[in-house]
Amino acid sequence: MKVLVVGSGGREHAIVWKLSQSRHVDKIYCTPGNAGIADIAECISVDTSDFKGLIDFVKYDWIDLTFVGPEEPLSRGIVDAFEKEGRKIVGPTKDAAQLESSKVFSKDFMRRYKIPTAEYKVFSSHPQAEDYVRMKGAPIVIKADGLAAGKGVIVASTVDEAIKAIRLIMKDRAFGDAGDRIVVEECLQGEEASFMAFTDGITIVPMVSSQDHKRVYDQDKGPNTGGMGAYSPAPVVTKELEELVMEKVMKPTVLGMKSEGIVFKGILYAGLMIKDGVPNVLEFNCRLGDPETQPVLMRLDSDFYEICDAIACQKLSEINISWKDEAAVCVVLASGGYPGKYDKGKIISGLDEAAKVADSFVFHAGTSFENGKIATNGGRVLGVTATGADIAAAKAKAYEAVSKISFEGMHYRKDIADRAIKR
């Protein structure tokens, strides 16, 4: 079988890596890919926004299955375009992807189907939003309606911070059209966790739990990022909580979509805030999380291609999905200045030495080739991931591998998974 993976980050490297282990897969292509993905797959230069070009490639190269990693092409309707041409693809349609591409749609959807979430109000006028914040007080959360690469959510601890966030999004247009509307919602307290599931629109199969670290600095300080590390399992997600999330969140979401004439096929991700064993949904994503994918797929014991094929063909109920008992930890190595401005083209050293650390793998997120050498090409550069008998053991191996790698300006958190170890 031939597979095409769309995307270029650490998530896509993990997807390619896992697909390469399938007994069914003979060849993997990736667009645009990165320097690490190029070791496993053939990287092609078709733009991910060029749906016609991608479909032509799939037709003429006899690609059996396409897997879409990032949210942007999903939100623009890549699945609709492929399915119209009768091409097998894993991911939700444009209508289904609104759960992620529009915070307003998502919050209104949760209200319609009584899915637990924070109280909220929607604004298209920044003066009205500012007046509301002054009335409600802080802490409070400001969210851009559209996609903003994981940076469109601002948790404001004071009213002044909230007003600055509103103006940044709506007046200064920091995230472009994504800021035409905003959601202002109550700030929930508790512990966050990522809950991901495979679904073909009929059957829903939960993945092992995971938890990421959004803030750029240790002790969860600094601005939000796309994610500075992750671990699996997340101790806060007990078996009882998993059952509760399935009943109160995942099933109502898939069934609610179906009742509105939308078949949700692909990955359903709920970002949760958990307090006293009660979950509330912070956000939905319609794809695998990044960097949660790296530790989660390292724990997957089943054939990933078979799962993807079953999703596309709506035969997920026929697949038995198993997971390894061991834990996994991912530490993200970022460029200096991220999530703000950063330089590219910094030569990375130590990758061969890191590869020698037992039970570890270095997933490339933002890398490219510079004069035959691997160099930085993004804010999040690498996701160093390792497995172990428990989270502490996995963390030790991950940081051992991290210690072998260096590039100018390299930054990473030193406390990934500490909250799980201390529980």
Which CATH number goes with the domain that contains 277? Answer: 3.30.470.20
The verdict on 382 and 414 lying in the same domain is yes
Asked whether residue 16 is assigned to any structural domain, the reply reads: yes
At residue 254's C-alpha, the angle toward residues 88 and 227, to 5°, is: 80
Query: Do residue 286 and residue 331 come from a single domain?
Result: no
Same domain? 341 vs 414: yes
What confidence tens digit (pLDDT) does each residue in 404-413 have? 999 999 999 9
Distances (CA, A) of 417 to 87, 234, 350: 40, 9, 23
194 shares its domain with 170? no
65: alpha, beta or left? (left if phi > 0; alpha if psi -120 to 50): beta
- Choose one of 180, 211, 246: the last residue of a domain: 180
Asked if residue 110 belongs to a domain, the reply is no
Task: State how many domains the chain has.
Answer: 4
Rounded to whole angstroms, the Cα distance separating 244 from 239 reads 9
Q: What pLDDT is attached to residue 6? A: 98
Q: Residue 66's domain is classified under what CATH number?
A: 3.40.50.20
Yes or no: say if 204 and 194 are a contact pair by the CB < 8 Å rule.
Answer: no
Decide if 108 is inside a domain. no
Question: What one-letter code names the amino acid at 306?
Answer: E
Per-residue pLDDT at 238 = 94
137/214 same-domain check: no
Mean pLDDT across the stretch 23-52? Answer: 97
Q: How far apart are CA 333 and CA 80, in angstroms?
A: 35
Is residue 43 located within the same domain as residue 16?
Answer: yes
pLDDT category at 224 given cuts 50, 70, 90 is confident
- Judge if 219 and 291 occupy the same domain: yes
pLDDT at res. 242: 96
Shared domain for 218 and 307, answered yes or no, is yes
Rounded to an integer, what distance in angstroms lies between the CA atom of residue 303 and that of residue 10?
20
SS3 content of the chain, % helix, strand, coil (to 5): 35, 30, 40
State the amino acid at position 106 in one-letter form.
S
Q: What is the pLDDT of residue 22?
A: 98
pTM of the model: 0.95
**Are 25 and 83 part of one and the same domain?**
yes
Q: Is 248 helix (H, G, I), strand (E, B) or coil?
A: helix
In this structure, is residue 105 part of a structural domain?
A: no
Query: Residue 70 sits in which domain range?
Result: 2-90
Residue 422 has a pLDDT of 80
